[in-house]
Chains A and B, each alone.
Chain A
Amino acid sequence: MKALIQKELRENLKLAVLGLIVISAILAIEIHSYSLGMKSLAAGRSEYVNWSALQPLVSPELLMLVAYFCAIFGALLGWFQIHNERHRDLWAFLVHRPATRTQIFLGKLVGGLVLYVLVTGMPLAGLVLWAVVPGHVAAPFEWQMLSPIALFLLSGVIYYLAGMLTGLRQARWYGSRALGLGLAVLVSVEIMDVPYAWQALGVVLIGGSILALAIWGGFHSNGFYRGQPAPGKPALVAALTPGCAFLVFLAFAFVFLGLLHLRDESTDRHFQVTRDGAIYKVIRQPGQPAEIADLEGKPALDPNTGRPAKLEDFNKRACNWISVNPRFDNHRYRYRWYGAARNELFNYYGTTPDTLWYNWNRYGRLVGYDVKTRQVIGSLGPEGFASDLSGNGSRLRIESGRAQVIVDGRILCTPDLEHRDLKELFTVTNEDCAAASLATNPAECVIGAVAPVSMYGSYMASPGSYIEHLNLIVGSGRENDILVVTRCFIRLIAADGTVVWTVPYQPAYPDYNQVRVTRLEATNQFALWLEPSWLIQEKTGGKLASHVIQIDGQGQVLKNIELPDLSYHPRTYSAQDKIMCVSLPPVVTAIIPLFSEQPWLKNIPWVLVGCSLAAALVCLPFGWWLGCRYSLSLPARVGWSVFILFLGIPGLLALLCAEEWPAREICPACQNLRVVDREKCEHCGADFRPPEKTGAEIFEPLAAAK
């Protein structure tokens, strides 16, 4: 096997060198652009700074490039390794040697993997080394940050195996050789979908095992389905099925969405409040002008024309809002594993002319770096500035994207990075604490949400009609206000800590977990919306009303209106949903919602499963008929039928792609068409007739040489 590995290394060296040059160039550019950004920041300019790549190891752009490179290089390497020898004589030269097919397979696999790891791993190891050495990267580093790069590197192995399978597979329809790449794509999609890195690793291992088994089987059968060892056949089918599913899905999308223009016919209903405080109901139906009417049913009129207002004109009169979903159980939003390395381990917090600050979750403190030396300067915690990372061990609670920090769940502060200090803004009252201790366990926070009104500013980049009225809000001089939600109260607090207004949080958390605040600029009033959670609405059938509390500038409650929850409606499925589900495997349609992060979606959508199942039931007799026509054994027919029942149309396509369909010819005995790969006619049991004699045959017994 050693000789085979050496041969593989030498044979694919050119491709490896090419890959090494490409990935090295990508990483060199990344390092160069980072250094350029830091230098410009040190010079007081920030135009070259890529704020999402302050720690290059978790930069989304770099991760995407690494993921794409690993996938493309892996697939090419795997394919070339087989394709180089796919000339039938060279393949014969390779496999006709005193080595088992398993040894030959392993020789190729090990050789390929060594090359893959060298090409992708060496430059990435260099990047890590550069980033780890202090003075290069002015950002926190933890080994955990390497998990996205490592996993994307590992997922490239799946593409490597898929490329190998593509090269190896013998198929009448050339496109079906590449179906194994579908599994690699599915693995890529799934690893991006699972929350934890270990789950992503599991997905990679499962996908890799299936492909490796299919390739191993392919080495035994020279790439054919027939002749594979027992574990190879199901593995090959499993490797081909995702590709079939993608093909079917794309075909359906092309036909029904692209050619027939089938569109979702769902209706959008919501309440909208204008800057003068009037509430309107907006109903949008596809292909029809929006209906906008006040609570008494009178249509909103355009003040200039006196006619019913168009939606785009109405939107200019409408207010925007900030919305928070308070949580008191110290819950942090759980990012997916690749985002967690960037967003949960640390966040960029802010800059001063010579420092960069991060919220480093490991220490629960704001950690500062000198822009010029790119070295740690110290950390900021509840007790103030410390020259080390951990201070005395005390921690802050810092919401991602919020300027304010919370000390001990009770005190709201604003960090002063220039002076490396914390400025206290607000401390919860005894009433807040008392209610919290009654309702919750002591470990829970008293402050459930903090939302700066300046969040409006984050919409500034959005295109369209928002911009105009957002300018009004941001320009209104109240952009530094902060919304603070405790279990008992909802408060608007000014930048200097003054409480603008306090309203009881009633109806209360957790049934009402959506808090929205709208500023009514025209009247200097506020509208506070308390909306029920989706979960409770699912339980009550959407019976809970939304509460709109109108508050004047002095904090007096003017009105409390109850409105039906328009956003809730019993779940229905459009024709588009149903048709697209026809293309999906029933098992997938049934299982996908169970993995939803939204509790109210964790139900099996029986209507959609029914659509997929109906398609599967239509395919079932066709699959059975194919099995009979080509005389598959009864267990094979039953197996394929069960497979089609679970996998639907993609299952049938997998059957068509995986099996090799033998020729059929007329049986001279019974005149029925029979397959040529059976020793006896499947209809009458007759043997195959030997070739017709011409009378010119010359046969004699041959004697061994003496």
Chain B
Amino acid sequence: MNESPVIQTRGLTRYFGAKAAVHDLNLEMPRGCVYAFLGRNGSGKTTTIRLLLGLLEPTRGEGTILGHDIRHLPPEARARIGYLTEEHQLYGWMTVRQCGEFQSKFYPRWNEKIFRGVTGHFNLKPATVVKNLSRGERAGLCLALTLAPEPELLVLDDPALGLDPVAHRSLMESMIYLTRRSDRTIFFSSHQLADVERVADYLAILDRSVLRVSCSLETFRSSVRQVRLQFPGTPPPLPAIPGLLQVFRTESELRLTCVHYNGATEQTLRALSPAQLDLEPLSLEDAFISYLGERGEKSFILSETEAQP
């Protein structure tokens, strides 16, 4: 198997006006993995995807996808990349069958069986006009159009956006069962942590246009830790702790979320003389929210809250 990264970027940056939507992105995505691309709204996920596919010109930096410069992707490379757009836009006047016929004429490896299989899974009638499809059905049709050319690399931009739970589940099932192949790489952005947990090998997190995380799910989970410190009286002020994400302060308790918790961190915390120090497990969703939530300290001291008018 070719060991070169499927996607590789160096200093990839894109400005919109004076604002950097993607800032100095250095990414390497190995072949055959499922890579989840996470971040809050406006963090630059879609811009990154559009840059990678040559749909936007980078302000600076460079990148390759399947070994080709992202600025000049040849048709052969595009034939190997399936792209599911964020809002599942299609030609409203086409029928489901016409969509398939239109798309099939561009792809030499078009697999009609897959197209029919996915559209069948979503109960799409061939004669239905696209503009009459529900959002979930349109997502299904988009997925069928993306999968039928049997691409090597699937780029899915928030595939479940705006879908109801049933449609969402249906889409994810299709993704899981139809896309997972050892020679296929999947790069998808999402806000659905449960989906990420189910299908992704690796995740990357964009925080305000900057890539802060790129690791396996397990590494992420183990790197983001929550510590509860109980004190007999009012907790003392915290010293500077590297990797500290959030602090919740109550009358007798401090709850810390931090990254890269290690012996040195523990030593610093024990120096505060807590009555009790507990490491608490975090789900992926908790870890993600903690990671991307507001940084700094928050107080939940009842007397202070009551004292406020």
CB of A418 within 8 A of chain B? no
Give the size of the chain B interface in residues (CB under 8 angstroms).
Answer: 71
Q: Separation in Å of the A386 CB from the closest CB of chain B?
A: 62
Give the size of the chain A interface in residues (CB under 8 angstroms).
Answer: 45
Which A residue sits closest to B59, measured CB to CB? A677
Question: By the criterion CB–CB under 8 Å, are B212 and A698 in contact?
Answer: yes
Chain A residues near B11 (CB, 8 Å)?
A: 679, 688
Number of A-B contacts (CB under 8 A): 147
CB of A90 within 8 A of chain B? yes
Question: By the criterion CB–CB under 8 Å, are A93 and B219 in contact?
Answer: no
Interface string of A641-667 (1 = CB under 8 A from B): 000000000000000000000110100
Once the chains are docked, how many angstroms separate the CA of A679 from the CA of B60? 6
Once the chains are docked, how many angstroms separate the CA of A27 from the CA of B232? 95
CB of B289 within 8 A of chain A? no
Interface pick from B87-95, B119-127, B169-177, B297-305: B87-95
Once the chains are docked, how many angstroms separate the CA of A705 from the CA of B29? 11
Interface string of B176-194 (1 = CB under 8 A from A): 0000001000000000000
Once the chains are docked, how many angstroms separate the CA of A2 from the CA of B93? 18
Q: Which of B209-265 contact A (CB under 8 A)?
A: 209-210, 212-216, 219-220, 223-224, 242-245, 258-260
Question: By the criterion CB–CB under 8 Å, are B85 and A698 in contact?
Answer: no
Question: By the criterion CB–CB under 8 Å, are B106 and A93 in contact?
Answer: no
Chain A residues near B260 (CB, 8 Å)?
A: 695-696, 698
Chain B residues near A699 (CB, 8 Å)?
A: 213-215
Which A residue sits closest to B145, measured CB to CB? A93
Chain A residues near B88 (CB, 8 Å)?
A: 89
Interface string of A1-22 (1 = CB under 8 A from B): 0110001001100000000000
Interface pick from B15-23, B269-277, B278-286: B15-23
Which B residue sits closest to A699, measured CB to CB? B214
Question: By the criterion CB–CB under 8 Å, are A690 and B259 in contact?
Answer: no
CB of A703 within 8 A of chain B? yes
Which B residue sits closest to A95, measured CB to CB? B55
Once the chains are docked, how many angstroms separate the CA of A702 from the CA of B37? 14
Question: By the criterion CB–CB under 8 Å, are B213 and A697 in contact?
Answer: yes
Interface string of A61-93 (1 = CB under 8 A from B): 000000000000000000000000001111111
Which B residue sits closest to A87, measured CB to CB? B89
Known contacts being A96-B55, A696-B259, is A678 close to B243, with CB within 8 Å? no
Q: Separation in Å of the B286 CB from the closest CB of chain A?
A: 15
Known contacts being A3-B102, A691-B210, A700-B214, is A96 close to B30, with CB within 8 Å? no
Q: Separation in Å of the A501 CB from the closest CB of chain B?
A: 80
Question: By the criterion CB–CB under 8 Å, are B76 and A98 in contact?
Answer: yes
CB of A97 within 8 A of chain B? yes
Q: Which residue in A92, A676, A690 is a CB contact (below 8 Å) of B15? A: A676
Question: By the criterion CB–CB under 8 Å, are A99 and B30 in contact?
Answer: no
Q: Which of B4-30 contact A (CB under 8 A)?
A: 11, 13, 15, 17-20, 23-24, 28-30
Chain B residues near A88 (CB, 8 Å)?
A: 50, 55
Known contacts being A92-B50, A662-B15, A688-B60, is A704 close to B31, with CB within 8 Å? yes
Q: Separation in Å of the B134 CB from the closest CB of chain A?
A: 17
Which A residue sits closest to B26, measured CB to CB? A690
Chain B residues near A694 (CB, 8 Å)?
A: 212, 295
Chain B residues near A7 (CB, 8 Å)?
A: 91, 102
Question: By the criterion CB–CB under 8 Å, are B13 and A676 in contact?
Answer: yes
Chain B residues near A695 (CB, 8 Å)?
A: 242-244, 259-260
Question: By the criterion CB–CB under 8 Å, are A3 and B59 in contact?
Answer: no
Q: Specify which of A7, A99, A702 lies most central, judged by the most chain B CB atoms within 10 Å of its CB.
A: A702
Once the chains are docked, how many angstroms separate the CA of A367 from the CA of B108? 66
Q: Which residue in A678, A696, A702 is a CB contact (below 8 Å) of B28? A: A702
Question: By the criterion CB–CB under 8 Å, are A702 and B216 in contact?
Answer: yes
CB of A320 within 8 A of chain B? no
Known contacts being A92-B53, A226-B57, is A698 close to B223, with CB within 8 Å? yes
Chain B residues near A93 (CB, 8 Å)?
A: 83, 85, 89-90
Chain A residues near B87 (CB, 8 Å)?
A: 89
Question: By the criterion CB–CB under 8 Å, are B89 and A89 in contact?
Answer: yes
Known contacts being A690-B24, A698-B259, is A96 close to B78, with CB within 8 Å? yes
Chain B residues near A665 (CB, 8 Å)?
A: 18
Q: Specify which of A87, A95, A96 lies most central, judged by the most chain B CB atoms within 10 Å of its CB.
A: A96
Once the chains are docked, how many angstroms separate the CA of A378 from the CA of B78? 70
Q: Separation in Å of the A96 CB from the closest CB of chain B?
A: 5
CB of B33 within 8 A of chain A? yes
Question: By the criterion CB–CB under 8 Å, are A696 and B243 in contact?
Answer: yes
Q: Separation in Å of the A429 CB from the closest CB of chain B?
A: 80
Chain A residues near B223 (CB, 8 Å)?
A: 698
Q: Which of A210-230 contact B (CB under 8 A)?
A: 221-222, 224, 226-227
CB of A330 within 8 A of chain B? no
Question: By the criterion CB–CB under 8 Å, are A89 and B28 in contact?
Answer: no
CB of B71 within 8 A of chain A? yes
Once the chains are docked, how many angstroms separate the CA of A517 from the CA of B224? 105
Chain A residues near B201 (CB, 8 Å)?
A: 705
CB of A506 within 8 A of chain B? no
Once the chains are docked, how many angstroms separate the CA of A3 from the CA of B107? 12
Question: By the criterion CB–CB under 8 Å, are B102 and A676 in contact?
Answer: no
Chain B residues near A90 (CB, 8 Å)?
A: 85, 89-91
Question: By the criterion CB–CB under 8 Å, are A97 and B89 in contact?
Answer: no
Chain B residues near A603 (CB, 8 Å)?
A: none
Q: Separation in Å of the A336 CB from the closest CB of chain B?
A: 44
Question: By the criterion CB–CB under 8 Å, are A11 and B93 in contact?
Answer: yes
A residues sitting closer than 8 Å to B (CB atoms) are 2-3, 7, 10-11, 87-93, 95-100, 221-222, 224, 226-227, 662-663, 665, 676-679, 688, 690-691, 694-700, 702-706
12 contacts between A and B (CB under 8 A): A2-B105, A3-B106, A92-B83, A93-B85, A95-B55, A99-B78, A696-B258, A697-B213, A698-B214, A702-B30, A704-B33, A705-B31
